[in-house]
Amino acid sequence: MSRVRSAAKVAVSENTACYENLANAIILQAVKDYKRALHRLGANPKNRDAMHEKERLERFFHSPWYEALTDLDADRLIEGVQERVLQEAAKRRKKKATGKASG
């Protein structure tokens, strides 16, 4: 009987890990999509597709589904991604300016 319980616990544990991996993958893809939308808006602030994508993802980050997938604070995540995108954009501008100056 203990072997059956042990096997059941392992199965539940493995299933839980699969669901956690799926939830993490969903959040990670949303973050990648959000970063891409922010970069597109940085290049063209009037880009309607990027604007809609940004808004759609912000709604997702504040949704009950997001809360079911993770305990990460949505506002902190959004702020962190926005800060990262600003840093990346500044690096790109600097690299581009350096490349033009030397070329």
Q: Are 16 and 63 in contact (CB under 8 A)?
A: no
Give the pLDDT confidence score for residue 26 in this predicted structure: 98
Q: Using one digit for the tens of pLDDT, what is the confidence trace for 42-82?
A: 999 999 999 999 999 999 999 999 999 999 999 999 999 99
* Spatial distance between the Cα atoms of 99 and 54, rounded to a whole number of angstroms: 31
Q: Using one digit for the tens of pLDDT, what is the confidence trace for 7-28?
A: 556 666 778 889 999 999 999 9
* Spatial distance between the Cα atoms of 27 and 60, rounded to a whole number of angstroms: 10
Q: Are 81 and 38 in contact (CB under 8 A)?
A: yes
- Domains of the chain, by residue range, sit at 25-102
pTM flag (> 0.95)? no
